[in-house]
């Protein structure tokens, strides 16, 4: 094999290993509460989570009521038990109403994703 052929073969072999890194963008794969859920206040968990398809480097998750007032504690962040999940807690004085969760994450490759979903407490 010539040096040029060897170089091309080596480059193709290296490229075959890159898809995992190149496709490191993440997508929301699960949320709790689920989008559109209606949950009785006494049974509602205080934790709000967003789980993604891959590891996230950083992120925030915030819950607001219909008036736009933040009802979660702080900006939330990566769940220490799962590097694919953002987690925040609702304040203890939960009341019935519609809530919107907004999140922003940075995936392992530096790509930023943002989104939102809503749920209700009754």
Q: What is the pLDDT of residue 24?
A: 62
| Cβ-count burial 71-104 (b if 16+ within 10 Å, e if not) | bbeeebebbeeeebbbbbebeeebeeeebebebe
Q: What is the pLDDT of residue 1?
A: 61
Q: In angstroms, rounded to a whole number, what is the distance separating the alpha carbons of residues 56 and 42?
A: 32
Q: In angstroms, rounded to a whole number, what is the distance separating the alpha carbons of residues 111 and 109?
A: 6
Q: What is the pTM of this model?
A: 0.77
Q: What angle do CA 69, 121, 31 make, to 5 degrees?
A: 85
Q: What is the pLDDT of residue 54?
A: 94
| Residue segments in the chain with a per-residue pLDDT below the cut of 70 | 1-24, 75
């Amino acid at each position: 094999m010539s040096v040029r052929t060897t170089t091309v073969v080596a480059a193709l072999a290296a490229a075959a290993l890159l898809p995992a890194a190149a496709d490191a963008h993440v997508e929301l794969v699960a949320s709790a509460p689920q989008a559109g859920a209606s949950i009785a206040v006494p049974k509602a968990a205080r934790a709000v989570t967003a789980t993604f398809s891959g590891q996230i480097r950083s992120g925030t998750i915030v819950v607001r009521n219909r008036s736009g007032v933040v009802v979660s504690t702080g900006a939330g962040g990566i769940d220490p038990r799962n590097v694919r999940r953002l987690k925040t807690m609702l304040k203890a004085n939960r009341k019935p109403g519609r809530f919107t969760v907004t999140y922003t994450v940075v995936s392992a490759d530096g790509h930023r994703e943002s989104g939102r979903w809503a749920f209700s407490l009754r």
